[in-house]
């Protein structure tokens, strides 16, 4: 199979997206208003989105992005210092957990283990501290614990985020296929019933005509 070679502009754009994404903290928190670090990187590369929308990355990420893109970030530093927060991890008070799985569904990097009606726990080494699990919890049993430095590995967090995204897309596709198959089946059954009714009506008229 012959692979299609991308135009030089697209290759350059993809490279720039990768370079920007490599500088982001991979918390996948959505504070930038995008659904993950990669979509934000794409917005910066493709639409020149502002580079000061990543509080978890703080001043360090802001300056790194400015250097990469040849921009002046000095005017943004003070505001970023106000937004910047210390690293943290989620902690579930397991005795209070009701096993609703809502935090599991919210975690963008699959860092929470558990099952329905069983207590959940956070994988400390995988948690990026995004905080997305806190709000969905109906019994408010999740705390964000501050850290001196992140404990998760950036590259691994990126991989877990994309693995989860791909898994959810696959599940969504499978559900769509099942619905389409059921719809086709229903259509077939309805058509068969309609044919049977037509045949019955035809036999009735035929029988009356022969009397």
Domains of the chain, CATH where assigned: 8-83 (1.10.15.40), 88-146 (3.30.70.20)
**Cβ distance 27 to 133 under 8 Å?**
no
Average pLDDT, the chain: 89
Long-range contacts of 41-45 (CB under 8 A, 24+ apart): 41/17, 42/17, 44/20, 44/69, 45/13, 45/16, 45/17, 45/20
Q: Which two tokens stand for residue 137?
A: 């919890």
Long-range contacts of 69-73 (CB under 8 A, 24+ apart): 69/20, 69/44
Residue 97 pLDDT: 97
What does the pLDDT average to over 5-29?
A: 86
Say if strands 112-113 and 88-92 run parallel, antiparallel, or are unpaired.
unpaired
* Residue 207 predicted with pLDDT over 90: no
Looking at 51-65, 69-83, 180-194, which range is the least confident one?
180-194
Q: Which two tokens stand for residue 3?
A: 């692979």
Q: Residue 179: helix, strand or coil by DSSP? A: helix
**Cβ distance 50 to 39 under 8 Å?**
no
Q: What percent of the chain has pLDDT over 90?
A: 73
Each residue of 105-162: pLDDT tens digit?
999 999 999 999 999 999 999 999 999 999 999 999 999 999 999 999 999 999 999 9
- What is 129-168 written as a DSSP string? ---TTTTT-TT--EEEEE-SS--S-HHHHHHHHHHHHHHH
Distance CA 69, CA 17 (A): 11
Residue 181 pLDDT: 78
**Cβ distance 32 to 40 under 8 Å?**
yes
Residue 1 pLDDT: 46
Residue 178 pLDDT: 81
Each residue of 147-197: pLDDT tens digit?
999 999 999 999 999 999 999 999 988 888 888 877 777 676 777 777 877
Q: What percent of the chain has pLDDT over 70?
A: 91
**Model confidence band, residue 9 (pLDDT cutoffs 50, 70, 90):** low
């Amino acid at each position: 199979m012959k692979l299609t070679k991308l135009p030089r502009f697209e290759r350059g754009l993809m490279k720039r997206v990768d370079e920007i994404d490599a500088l982001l903290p991979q918390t996948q928190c959505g504070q930038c208003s995008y659904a993950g670090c990669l979509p934000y990187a794409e917005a910066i590369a493709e639409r020149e989105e502002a580079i000061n929308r990543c509080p978890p990355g703080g001043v360090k990420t802001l300056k790194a992005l400015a250097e990469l893109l040849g921009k002046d970030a000095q005017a943004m530093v003070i505001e970023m210092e106000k937004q910047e927060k210390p690293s943290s991890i989620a902690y579930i008070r397991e005795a209070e957990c009701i096993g609703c799985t809502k935090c599991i569904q919210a975690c963008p990097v699959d860092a929470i283990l558990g099952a329905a009606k069983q207590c959940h726990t956070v994988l400390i080494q995988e948690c990026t501290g995004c905080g997305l699990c806190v709000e969905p919890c109906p019994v408010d049993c999740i705390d964000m614990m501050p850290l001196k430095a992140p404990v998760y590995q950036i590259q691994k967090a990126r991989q877990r985020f994309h693995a989860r995204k791909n898994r959810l897309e696959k599940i969504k596709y499978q559900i769509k296929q099942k619905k389409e198959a059921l719809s086709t089946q229903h259509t077939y059954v309805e058509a068969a019933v309609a044919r049977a009714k037509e045949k019955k009506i035809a036999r009735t008229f035929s029988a009356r005509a022969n009397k």
